[in-house]
Amino acid sequence: MGSLKRVEPGPQAPANLPRATRSSGASPAPRGAPIIEVRDLVKVYGGGNGRRKQEEVRAVDGVSFTVHEGEFFGFLGPNGAGKSTIIKVIATLLGGTSGAVRVAGMDVATQGPAIRRIIGYTGQSVGVDGELTGRENLTLIGHLYHMPTDLIESRVEELLGVLELREAADRQANTYSGGMRRRLDLGAGLVHHPRILFLDEPTTGLDPHTRNGVWDYLRKLHRDERMTIFLTTQYLEEADRLCDRLAIIDRGKLVAEGSPAALKAGIGADVVTIRLPRDEGFEANRARALQVVQKVRGVRKATAFDEGVSVHAEDGGAALLEVMRLLDAERVPVQQVAVARPTLDEVFLQHTGRAMRVEEVKPMSSAGFGQRRR
Amino acid sequence: MVAEVGYGRERVRHVEQGTATQGGRLSEVRWVAWRSLKKLTRNPILLFFSLFMPLIWLVLFSQTFGNVFSGAARAQLPYDYVAVLLPGIAVMTAIQSAAQSGFGMVADIETGFMDKFFVAPIRRSSVLIGKLVADGLRMAGQAGIILLIAYAMTLLAGWRIPFATGLPGALVIMALAAAFGVAFSGLSNAVALKTKNTEATMMVSFTLTFPLLFMSTAMLPKPSLPQWVRDFSVINPVSYVADAARALVLTGWEWSAIGSAFAACIVFGALLNGWAVLAFRAQGK
């Protein structure tokens, strides 16, 4: 596991290093004041002593970052990267092992109740009560936030409308479809108009149509209510489309941070993918191809992957011609080539040395709480 | 700490500032309890079966063991065995409901609903207390229904049950059932929070339920019990509750018995619920 902490500053957000001293707040990019500050957060599960001793798992390993007020911030990483753990620590649901976490200037370790008033949290498992109706679910949350009854009524009505649940409002939530339950759960995080909304994989398990609907609503919330939104996701597309700024997290460590555009720009320019035939000569051919492509002018980096070689080049089109010419001369068989603008896929690959694999999580209803979920 | 006015932000400023204390803690407990009771009404079948079993017992036991008081004894006593059994059945109903108390806890943890409570600005203890309040109301209601049915049977089937203290006594029995049930709920909740597993919760609770019931004076009065059971029954809180309730049905107001019964519930309840509170506090640590 590499301990490198590579951070992509990107053109618009200079010196956005985790441990950089915050200079006078005069830097151009951030929208507002820092609202979430995480410094050297570590979370170790297990351990203990005596007969309860379990294997220690370092789920979060020295993570630092800052989110500014009004930002749409995302955590991108595969299952088990530590995303949920970090978001739970910030949302006061879980204690950290060491490090400092402040929300709106308040310490999560000592000022939990005050923090809870200004945040909304929607967890990975859809935490709606199936035996209550949609309206009752939302009303209950309003009362748990000590809101006056008339305000709860109008707010619940408003949310049922925007979440398109009005017709189903008086049906028990266990008759809802997965998408409706998701929307209701999202609504539960919004009843009290939080300043910061935490969303832990808000669209995992949703069909593309519903996912688009949730995205639209989140964009609207962010735009119209100027809400700070912090989401975790394992979907590259989701991170790319929604977030102002991203942190890529892998095995408990932050490996890169910046706007999606800046992260992609940091790759180089274009990505040339060369796929080789998977025959007995594949390994040897790939090794030769890797040598060959490095001679091409304009190539910044070449990486072998399980289907061939991936090349980062300033001008993909020009590099492609040269690459093909050289491979031909070297008699390396090629099955397919492609040139593309870099995606977050390549960003992830570059920073972790692995392709991002999306695993569908276990069914939402059985996702455990307080278990070793990283 | 209030942000620039965003949409709707102004309206809830008091929420952020924590000045909206709509009844404070009492309101928290009330709404948690409201939810539990609301769920109960959505499950009428569950409610029916939680009463069905004790009623079957009442009928079967009173028929099968009815001739414990045989011949001459039966003729001398002004009541049937069913009158001796009735308080025990009321306690048993409470124990059964208490044993299930943790199931809801496990379900809330599994579905993620518990996180909704934990992320809200309420005290964690309100979640537990609210649930216990709902449990207590449910148990008192169940005991009331059992008593009502038994009373109906005195009219319809000629069961001989004196109901020595009448309606006030019945209310005290309901309170006793609730107090005992709430105390015993602590065990179920603690096991549920420790194991996060419905089966384990069920096993522990039911394994303890029957020995506690039978090694007490709930089924038979003390003189009819074997010596070793009689010895155990002294430290068994079920006995105190059953004795007090039985006195209320058979003889009249025995204040010392009633006092002992509530005291037993308090001691027993403090231990078990203390354990549950510790388990609850440890969540998310």
Per-residue pLDDT of B229-247, as tens digits, reads 888 888 899 999 999 999 9
Report the percentage of chain B scoring pLDDT > 70: 87
- Mean per-residue pLDDT over chain A, rounded: 81
How far off is chain A from B8, nearest CA to CA, in Å? 7
Q: Is the pLDDT of residue A17 over 80?
A: no
pLDDT recorded at residue A8: 39
Per-residue pLDDT band at A160 (split at 50, 70, 90): very high
pLDDT recorded at residue A231: 92
pLDDT recorded at residue B23: 55
| Crossing angle (nearest 10°) for helices B124-156 and B81-111 | 150
Report the percentage of chain A scoring pLDDT > 90: 31
Q: What is the mean pLDDT of residues B100-114?
A: 89
pLDDT recorded at residue B234: 86
Residues 6 or more apart whose Cβ sits within 8 Å of residue B179: B136, B241, B261, B262, B265, B266, B269
Structure confidence by residue, pLDDT tens digits, B27-69: 899 999 999 999 988 888 877 887 887 888 888 877 776 666 6
- Comparing C-alpha atoms, which of A153, A152, A150, A210 is closest to residue A186? A210
**Rounded to the nearest 5 degrees, what angle is found at the Cα of B167, between the Cα atoms of B163 and B172?**
90
pLDDT recorded at residue B82: 85
Per-residue pLDDT band at B72 (split at 50, 70, 90): low
Check if the beta carbon of residue B249 is closer than 8 Å to that of residue B173: yes
How far off is chain B from A292, nearest CA to CA, in Å? 53
Per-residue pLDDT band at A362 (split at 50, 70, 90): very low
pLDDT recorded at residue A266: 75
Q: Is the pLDDT of residue A14 over 70?
A: no
Per-residue pLDDT band at B285 (split at 50, 70, 90): low
Q: Considering only the beta carbons, identify the residue of B8, B28, B196 that sits closest to A193.
A: B8
Q: Considering only the beta carbons, identify the residue of B9, B22, B285 that sits closest to A193.
A: B9
Chain B positions contacting chain A at CB under 8 Å are 1, 3-4, 6-9, 11-12, 15-18, 20-24, 27-28, 31, 34-35, 38-39, 42-43, 109-122, 196, 283-285
Check if the beta carbon of residue A78 is closer than 8 Å to that of residue A357: yes
- Comparing C-alpha atoms, which of A289, A250, A281, A244 is closest to residue A263? A244
**Rounded to the nearest 5 degrees, what angle is found at the Cα of A179, between the Cα atoms of A176 and A185?**
80
φ, ψ dihedrals at A196, nearest 5°: -125, 130
Q: Is the pLDDT of residue A283 over 70?
A: yes
Structure confidence by residue, pLDDT tens digits, B159-208: 888 898 999 999 999 999 999 999 999 999 999 999 888 888 888 877 88
Q: For residue A234, which amino acid is it? A: Q
pLDDT recorded at residue A366: 34
Q: Tell me if A193 and B15 make a contact (CB, 8 A cut-off).
A: yes
Q: Considering only the beta carbons, identify the residue of B3, B18, B112 that sits closest to A126.
A: B112
**Rounded to the nearest 5 degrees, what angle is found at the Cα of B67, between the Cα atoms of B235 and B209?**
30
pLDDT recorded at residue A31: 61
Q: What is the mean pLDDT of residues A133-142?
A: 95
Cα B188 to Cα A22, A113, A197, B36, B265: the distances in Å are 51, 28, 34, 16, 15
Stretch 229-268 of chain A: residues touching chain B, C-beta under 8 Å? none
Q: Is the pLDDT of residue A72 over 90?
A: yes
pLDDT recorded at residue A21: 34
Q: Considering only the beta carbons, identify the residue of B8, B38, B113 that sits closest to A127.
A: B113
Q: Tell me if B35 and A155 make a contact (CB, 8 A cut-off).
A: no
Distance, CA of A118 to CA of A37 (rounded, Å): 15
Per-residue pLDDT band at A345 (split at 50, 70, 90): confident
Domain extents in chain B: 37-281
Q: Is the pLDDT of residue A120 over 80?
A: yes
Is residue A61 within 8 angstroms of chain B, CB to CB? no
Q: What is the mean pLDDT of residues A305-320?
A: 84
pLDDT recorded at residue B148: 92
Q: Is the pLDDT of residue A369 over 60?
A: no
Check if the beta carbon of residue A89 is closer than 8 Å to that of residue A101: yes
ipTM surpasses cut 0.90: no
Q: Tell me if B285 and A193 make a contact (CB, 8 A cut-off).
A: no
Q: Pull the structure tokens for residue B160.
A: 């001989």
pLDDT recorded at residue A374: 39
Q: Tell me if B1 and A365 make a contact (CB, 8 A cut-off).
A: no
Per-residue pLDDT band at A50 (split at 50, 70, 90): low
How far off is chain B from A250, nearest CA to CA, in Å? 22
Check if the beta carbon of residue B18 is closer than 8 Å to that of residue B122: no
Q: Which residues of A touch B198 (CB under 8 A)?
A: none
The more confidently predicted of residues B13 and A134 is A134
pLDDT recorded at residue A53: 63
Q: What is the mean pLDDT of residues A74-88?
A: 89
How far off is chain B from A369, nearest CA to CA, in Å? 6
- Report how many Cβ contacts below 8 Å link chain A to chain B: 143
Q: Which residues of A touch B28 (CB under 8 A)?
A: 144
Distance, CA of A70 to CA of A232 (rounded, Å): 17
pLDDT recorded at residue B7: 38
Q: Considering only the beta carbons, identify the residue of B1, B9, B119 that sits closest to A116.
A: B119
Q: Considering only the beta carbons, identify the residue of B20, B38, B284 that sits closest to A147.
A: B20
Q: Tell me if B9 and A195 make a contact (CB, 8 A cut-off).
A: yes
Q: How far is CA A276 from the centre of its chain?
A: 32
- Domains observed in chain A: 34-264 (3.40.50.300), 268-352 (3.30.70.100)
Q: What is the DSSP letter of A50?
A: G
How far off is chain B from A122, nearest CA to CA, in Å? 8
